[in-house]
Chain A
Amino acid sequence: ACGKSGGETKTDAAADTAQTEDTGNTAAASGDGITVGWIVQDMANESQSYSCRIAEEKAKELGINLTSYDQAGDAQKATDAISTCIAQGVDAIIINPADPQAVVPALMEAKEAGIVVGLFSSDLAAESQQYRDFFCGTNDTMAGEQAAQAIIDAFPDGCNVVEIGGQSGHDAQVKRSDGFKAGLEGSNITVLDSKNCDQWATEDSMAIMEDFIVKYGDKIDAVFCHWDNGATGVINALENANMDGVYIVAVDGCSAGYDHVKDGTQAVCIGQSFTNMVAQSLDCAQKAVAGESFEEINWIPLDTVTSENVDSLPYPEW
């Protein structure tokens, strides 16, 4: 948007980078490793903090100098974190944005400063994808679609399903919900009701499920809950009401989800593999900084975890 000033920023940031290398960053592990700013969506969120942890481990392995920043689920903090990364003169930024829309202007600035930009887990909308170099992640929309598919497969003759969404307005909630709706289109599955929570809180999902049970009772054949820990609440509510055989689908693939699938309380768990995601993004970042060729879009496939394959899949560490 602002060519001239952008140019100056670039030299500025470049100078900063040079300085960093001159003096030797305090956190530098190895001399020639690239520096990466890893911007986590919300360190208070289990899955995000887990992905951050493995990113730190993986980076050490690869000799990458990785500093993690937290956006605490706040879009403005995300832009601040990107600016801090630019100021620190990192080689690459990998971000899992709380709101992909909102980071675009900040990413423009990062690109102008000559920084490699990678998106992790959530991608930018199609029209702004020019502002990032690569994307690694699973597709939350697809997670919703796969959940819908699992239900369609289980109930070929149609059924009644209720949806319990995650935190209202959160990127994952929005995409999972949209994907779920899209996936059900054209099928004979009826969505009885759909409610979101205030937070990603098990208590919220449980309270909503309890109300659904009173209202719809045995009519409920299946439940789509946006996250595995929320499904714990759903399972509790069903247990309290002595309802068996409700088909529960949830997304995340955390250990709670695997446990549920193993006990048979949850039918399907749509799992995302953070290990793969992290490895792929760091690899892309290294290649991009070195100027080698790399894949721009890296979909990490989602695992549909069911009782059949749960034992064959590696048990998640979070």
Chain B
Amino acid sequence: MEQKKDLILKVSGVTKRFPGVLALNKVSLEIPKGVVYGIVGENGAGKSTLMKILSGVYEKDEGTIEFDGEIIEHTTPIQALRRGLSIIYQEFNLVNTMTVGENIFLGRFSENHGMKGTHQKARELLDSIGSKIDTYTLVGDLSASEMQMVEITKALSFDSKLIIMDEPSSSLTTEELKKLGEIIFQLRNKGISIIYISHKLDEIFEYCNIVTIMRDGNVIDTKPIEELTRSEMIAKMVGRTIENEYPPRAHFVGEPLLEVKNLNTSKLHDINFTLHKGEILGLVGLVGAGRTEIIRAIYGADKVKSKELIMEGKPVTVSSPRDAKALGMGLVPEDRKQEGLILRFSVGENITMAALSEIAKKGVLNRKKEKEIENRQIENLLIKTPSAAAKVLNLSGGNQQKCVVGRWLELNPKVLILDEPTRGIDVGAKYEIYVLMNKIVEQGGAIIMISSELPEVLSMSNRVLTVCDGRITGEFSPEEVDPSEIMDRAIG
């Protein structure tokens, strides 16, 4: 009895089915007041689905939910918000065409006495978390991490008793992550509970009090954080023991493959570097440093002022992604929903997208070969999908990412560019992607990898470049260097 009073949320026996998928199977959770409650699990474990049920986006099929002592049968997003449950969704949840201030107070315009009041209050909130974003800028003009901060601010603007954060840190920099940590502690001290979902286990260990581990729609275990070790957690998540989070670094570095010279755009200044055969080159920098711009410019996706590329000793021109692909380059973009996938199309169609031009004979396609590719990649990458014909829209984030990566693997690219390839991907899948990366370099290809997770870059790459403000500011060998030195250069 006594204990029950302290619970903010009690979920018992919740089940959710999607066509062909049992997303949640009799899930039960108990979340006390004033704790940070971590939920971890592989991609497709059902974490996001559970959160969407709590916030009223999906209907549950079975089970009961009790929020703040009240049984909730049916809820809608607005009711959930009013009750005091706010959520930061995994996918961005902002209106790009409106200003930061208006987004924070979306739908509550009159509560703040019009435009001026809204922006004023938004300013106060942003200041309170130490963000310098101008409330009058359009959200569409922000970078991924700035958007994330706006989302966090938005969740704070409600007087919530429970805040769900579904991978809030996936695009935050170290600096911002620190701020987020402070915010979380502040909230917890005020007696507000937080559900924290992340694939970055360090954060889980740092912030959370209790952790629930999910796999395939089931709750595997719930334990206070002190009673868990990292490897134990990983083992429970993936259902087997993983010795290392990173495979051994591959060392096949050979002669120069791609030389980038004198690359200038409106944002980039004098970028020069060389990529060698069999090398994984990491690009490190703060958000907005221009890493994405560098690789897009190389790939021919953006306009450039000047650019010289030398591939295998021969000067080449790359003025469009088409040229880039013809030279054996491939790009996995950072925003998979907008730039990577055709969400309405099937998993298979998304996988074969890049390879179509290879299997077409004089422009005529071969359905049989397409099928082969689909099945091969689904097996190779262990993509969790009912069938190749299922819509990619319904896959979990990690599995969607695998589709985008898989599309290029089929082509054995010489240069594969990966922009945040493991964003929102679970440990198991990450490992698989790392192994795949190693396989590519083994075959003589080379990889440029952008990642905001420093450990990942340091463990995977043979060489690291730091980018700051559109310039390359340093070159390091990750085995020899101290991470703090790299961050130093990245900050500028």
A contacts B directly (C-beta below 8 A): no
User: Chain A interface (Cβ within 8 Å of chain B)?
Assistant: none
User: Chain B interface (Cβ within 8 Å of chain A)?
Assistant: none
